[in-house]
Amino acid sequence: MAGNVNHDYHILEPDIWPLVGSISAVTFTSGLVLNMHPDTFGTSGGIVMWAGLAGLIATFFMWFKNIVVEAQQGDHTPVVQLHMRYGMILFIASEVMFFVGWFWSFFDFALFPAPLSVTDAGTAAQVTANAFLGDNTATGGTLVPQGMEVLDAFSLPLLNTLILLCSGTTVTWAHHALIHGDRDGLKKGLWATIALGALFSAIQAYEYSIAPFNFGQNTYSSAFYMATGFHGFHVLIGTIFLAVCLFRAYKGHFTPRQHFGFEAAAWYWHFVDVVWLFLFIAVYVWGGWGSPVH
């Protein structure tokens, strides 16, 4: 009688992977720092970084594998699913604040442009003084330096916007198909969403290859690549997330009443869609407005 479960909560078994993940995360970030100082640490930084990354990938695979097993065993009761939803909401909220930081920096650079090049304004002290006084000689007083070309917002970026909007409809189609017991519709919707996500990433990579500016060239180029690059990384993660859901769908996982794994992936994908809309409007359209188009 003492071993009978009389509650709706899931008591987890002891697991080594949270510890492995924590150690791997510290190892990976430490390796990144060491890798930034090759003159001091040589190639050891790269070795530490890749070792940490390998540990993180192994943790992701094994930990999520355990979660899938728990779901299939019926451990994810309605109460457990509710708390998982709370966790996913908090995770997406943290991601929102992550992108708020990049938008904040972009608008700061746009509204208060400052000199970047010491050679254009003299010594470092003069650069600081000129920026404080509002003398933006290095950028011409604008976010995009005078004469610098930008990408046409209504070319590839607009196409990628339409692709992501379409992918939002296909993942919603897959979700509704699952709710109504249409597993064929679930698979087709997921296939379409994954294909659109891969197409978006391919176009983004091509756009980077033809961009008329490089990362670190000025504040505009740095903010552009950081904001759009991290978004592209999230699209890649979301595509993998959906590919795992597709694999599970073929394995017979998910039911109309229990499919939080897919629901979390759909939430994440919609979040990626919304972030791109803000990026398209703020970075591509507003940020490059009035500058010569490449």
pLDDT of residue 264: 94
Kindly indicate the confidence band of residue 3, based on its pLDDT and cuts at 50, 70 and 90: low
> Distance between CA 183 and CA 185 in Å, rounded?
5
Kindly indicate the confidence band of residue 128, based on its pLDDT and cuts at 50, 70 and 90: very low
For residue 293, tell me if it sits in a domain: no
Kindly indicate the confidence band of residue 138, based on its pLDDT and cuts at 50, 70 and 90: very low
**Whether residues 96 and 241 fall in one domain:** yes
pLDDT of residue 4: 64
pLDDT of residue 258: 83
**Whether residues 60 and 167 fall in one domain:** no
Q: pLDDT tens digit string along 252-294?
A: 899 888 888 899 999 999 999 999 999 999 999 988 777 777 7
pLDDT of residue 111: 82
For residue 204, tell me if it sits in a domain: yes
**Whether residues 64 and 165 fall in one domain:** no
Kindly indicate the confidence band of residue 142, based on its pLDDT and cuts at 50, 70 and 90: low
Residue 8 pLDDT > 90: no
The predicted model scores a pTM of 0.81
CATH of the domain at 238: 1.20.120.80
Residue 134 pLDDT > 60: no
**Whether residues 100 and 25 fall in one domain:** no
Q: Say how many residues make up the chain.
A: 294
The amino acid occupying position 136 is N
For residue 213, tell me if it sits in a domain: yes
pLDDT of residue 291: 74
Handedness of CA 135, 126, 216, 94 (dihedral sign): negative
Residue 113 pLDDT > 80: no
Residue 119 pLDDT > 60: no
> Residues 38-62: what's their mean pLDDT?
90
Q: Find the domain containing 55 and state its range.
A: 11-75
Q: Where is mean pLDDT largest: 86-95, 115-124, 144-153?
A: 86-95
**Whether residues 186 and 266 fall in one domain:** yes
For residue 291, tell me if it sits in a domain: no
The residues near 269 (Cβ < 8 Å, ≥ 6 apart) are: 167, 168, 171, 193, 197, 238, 241, 242
Residue 124 pLDDT > 60: no
> Distance between CA 287 and CA 197 in Å, rounded?
25
pLDDT of residue 120: 45
> Residues 147-168: what's their mean pLDDT?
92
Number of domains in the chain: 2
For residue 127, tell me if it sits in a domain: no
**Whether residues 99 and 190 fall in one domain:** yes
**Whether residues 157 and 254 fall in one domain:** yes
**Whether residues 52 and 188 fall in one domain:** no
pLDDT of residue 221: 86
**Whether residues 97 and 29 fall in one domain:** no
**Whether residues 81 and 33 fall in one domain:** no
CATH of the domain at 58: 1.10.287.70
**Whether residues 104 and 51 fall in one domain:** no
**Whether residues 68 and 151 fall in one domain:** no
pLDDT of residue 47: 92
